Amino acid sequence: MASISQSQVAEEFEKLKSFYSFNFDSLKSKQLSLITDIVNGKDCFGLLPTGYGKSATFFLPPLLRSALENKKFYSLIVSPMKSLMLDQVDQLTACGIKSVALGPDMTEEQKKGFGIYSSFQATVVLMF
């Protein structure tokens, strides 16, 4: 894939807004920079304050790459904060983004519903 500019990422984000119900209308400059680097396959590190919108930097890159390259991409997020992960799944699902949370305390019924096959149908996989 050719390198994607920040303006192209912003343009694709605008297109994605017609498919998903994001709870924000635009990307902040540091989000845009970080997402652009991720989409371009660069190693990067984002240190952003609480409430800045780090979650967008996790779930937008696979959506953007999927739209740009017409194939499926995923985001795997590992976190020790179970309640945050469950909130993220709820918020992503409300936006129309397939996501799943996997963890050691899942019931047998949850494991069947969120089996490895199901997790790869999701765009975002959160693990705790």
For residue 13, pLDDT beyond 90: yes
Contact 121, 95 (CB under 8 A): no
Would you give the distance in Å from CA 120 to the centre of its chain?
13
* Residues 16 and 68 reside in one and the same domain: yes
Domain of residue 108: give its range: 74-128
Closest CA to 47 of 68, 70, 22, 30: 30
Last residue of a domain, one of 27, 50, 73: 73
Which of the four pLDDT bands, split at 50, 70 and 90, describes residue 117?
very low
Mean pLDDT along residues 9-27: 93
Mean pLDDT for the chain overall: 84
* Residues 98 and 46 reside in one and the same domain: no
- For 49: left if phi > 0, alpha if psi spans -120 to 50, otherwise beta; the answer is beta
Most confident of 8-12, 54-58, 64-68: 8-12
For residue 89, pLDDT beyond 50: yes
* Residues 29 and 62 reside in one and the same domain: yes
Mean pLDDT along residues 5-26: 93
What residues contact residue 27 under an 8 Å CB cut-off, 6+ apart? 9, 10, 13, 35, 53, 56, 60
Would you give the distance in Å from CA 86 to the centre of its chain?
14
Which of the four pLDDT bands, split at 50, 70 and 90, describes residue 119?
low
Residue 85: per-residue pLDDT = 83
| Total-model pTM | 0.81
What one-character DSSP code corresponds to residue 32?
H
Structure tokens at 4: 């994607």
* Residues 17 and 68 reside in one and the same domain: yes
